């Protein structure tokens, strides 16, 4: 028994469209995450974190242009490690300055206490 029914591919087509949209959204979210966390943006990092192939990224012109643009923008920016190192150096400088100030205050207090002690010794000696 042969039938002249056409194959119902509507379900397959809808599933493919849904997957395509989900993949595109996953790539978009990955790029946004990389931007927010100031991570390196290139085809490798996006494909790895989004779970897509680099071929997928290259074949979608809008994604490709976005990655290339962001990669170029990042070239002049310091790396997160470099920023952290600079912050640590600045923090160290602030801590050292604060400690130096505290040392100076303590030295002055020590000097005053020694002078006071000397005066009290003198008064004690005179009273004998």
Domain residue ranges in the chain: 11-77, 78-128
Predicted TM-score of the model (pTM): 0.52
Report the pLDDT averaged over residues 63-71: 91
Report the pLDDT averaged over residues 68-78: 80
Three-state SS at 107? helix
Q: Which two tokens stand for residue 76?
A: 């002049």
Q: Predicted confidence band at 78 (pLDDT cuts at 50, 70, 90)?
A: low
Half-sphere exposure of 11 (CA within 13 A, CB side): 2
Q: Predicted confidence band at 102 (pLDDT cuts at 50, 70, 90)?
A: very high
Q: How far apart are CA 53 and CA 104, in angstroms?
A: 61
Instruction: Return the pLDDT at 1.
Output: 47
Query: pLDDT digits over 18-53, tens only?
Result: 999 999 999 999 999 998 988 889 999 999 999 999
Count of CB atoms within 10 A of residue 71's CB?
Answer: 15
Report the pLDDT averaged over residues 46-63: 93
Per DSSP, the residues of 37-57 read TT---SHHHHHHHHT--HHHH
Supply the mean pLDDT for the chain. Answer: 87
């Amino acid at each position: 028994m042969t039938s002249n029914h056409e194959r119902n591919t509507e379900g397959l087509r809808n599933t493919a469209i849904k997957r395509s949209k989900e993949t595109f959204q996953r790539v978009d979210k990955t790029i946004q995450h990389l931007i927010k966390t100031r991570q390196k943006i290139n085809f490798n990092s996006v494909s790895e974190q989004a779970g897509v192939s680099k071929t997928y990224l290259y074949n979608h012109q809008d994604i490709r242009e976005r990655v290339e643009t962001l990669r170029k923008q990042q070239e002049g920016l310091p790396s997160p490690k470099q920023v952290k190192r600079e912050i640590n150096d600045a923090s160290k400088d602030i801590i050292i300055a604060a400690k130096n100030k505290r040392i100076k205050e303590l030295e002055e207090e020590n000097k005053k206490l020694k002078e006071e002690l000397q005066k009290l010794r003198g008064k004690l000696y005179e009273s004998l």
